[in-house]
A and B are shown apart, each in its own frame.
Chain A
Amino acid sequence: MSPRHPKYPHLLPPDVRLWDAYLDQSNIDRHVITYDVRVGTPAETLPNWPAKYKAMSWDLTMRRIDAVLFLPHEIIVVEITHTAGFTALGQILSYPELYRRTYTPDLPVNPLLVTSRLLPDMAALLNFHHVPFHLVKPGT
């Protein structure tokens, strides 16, 4: 693995290329990024489950934020998707609040959508909800 890029094992290959391209174009310090941040409520488990299995269930059923940036004055929750439609819109509207509820951070939590394609109406809806987005064309 290249030391330049931290691992992001749960991104789909097109999203990996997109994210790498975004990082190459930005001046974000890779050391302030973490991936697969779990938020929200896990699925219920049975009281008699061993702790190990219960932990695995929590790992699998909590929602996972693609990336979180820890900047000096804010925390940015990032949704990374090569094609942004209503699923991405719902995630990027929901995840900042789930992050706040899960971790009670001491800084503002703001959203960011990184994508290479917006489906119809998405730009208008993202603007309406004040969600910033970056359109990135990854190299081939």
Chain B
Amino acid sequence: MPALSDIPEYLLDKTQIRPLLDWIREQPMPWYDKKHLLTVWARFTDYTLTADDYERAGAHRPE
């Protein structure tokens, strides 16, 4: 899985949730790695994720 330190430093802040979700969505990685990375980022920044966040980041299992 990609590492937390792969995320641009300016996105390592919970106020940057929207640009972070857009950044993750654009990354060439499968949905499960997007979920892993988003989840760890949320713990790192003490942010509470919503279902919409996973959806926007493409971090959900395909139907």
A positions within 8 Å CB-CB of B: 31, 34-38, 50-52, 54-56, 58-59, 62, 68, 70, 102-103, 106
Contact = CB atoms under 8 A, between A and B. Distances in A.
A50 B1 CA distance: 23
B5 interface: yes
Interface string B1-26: 10111010100110000000000000
Given A51-B9, A52-B12, A34 B1 contact: yes
Contacts of B30: 31, 34
B5 A59 contact: yes
Given A51-B13, A55-B12, A58-B44, A68 B32 contact: yes
Given A34-B1, A34-B33, A52-B5, A103 B12 contact: no
A51 B1 contact: no
A70 B5 CA distance: 24
Given A51-B9, A51-B13, A36 B35 contact: no
A52 B32 contact: no
Given A34-B30, A34-B33, A37-B36, A55 B1 contact: no
A110 B46 CA distance: 28
